[in-house]
Amino acid sequence: GQLYGDVLYFATEARAGWTHSDPRPLYFWGYFVGLNGVWVLVPGLLLLDACHQLATAQRGHDRPRHKAH
């Protein structure tokens, strides 16, 4: 949900021609992109970690089990 909101936030601003953001480079790249980018980076990394853990768990579950005699 967080990533969806971020995409909408950036996409609507891009579609509007960046009219609601300050054109000064420090403000635009530091505040608008940098600080808001954290809200894309952190959920993205958590999503990748969750996918990795799920794939590892699934491989462990799918491994054939040997019967003990």
Question: How confident is the model over 30-63, as pLDDT tens digits?
Answer: 988 899 899 999 999 999 999 999 999 999 999 8
* CA dist., res. 5 & res. 3, Å (int): 5
* CA dist., res. 44 & res. 18, Å (int): 24
CA angle 46, 55, 5 (to 5 degrees): 30
Give yes or no for a contact between 13 and 21, defined as CB atoms under 8 angstroms apart: yes
* CA dist., res. 27 & res. 23, Å (int): 7
Identify the pLDDT of residue 69. 64
Q: Does residue 20 have a pLDDT over 80?
A: yes
Identify the pLDDT of residue 2. 84
Percentage of the chain lying above the pLDDT 70 cut: 97
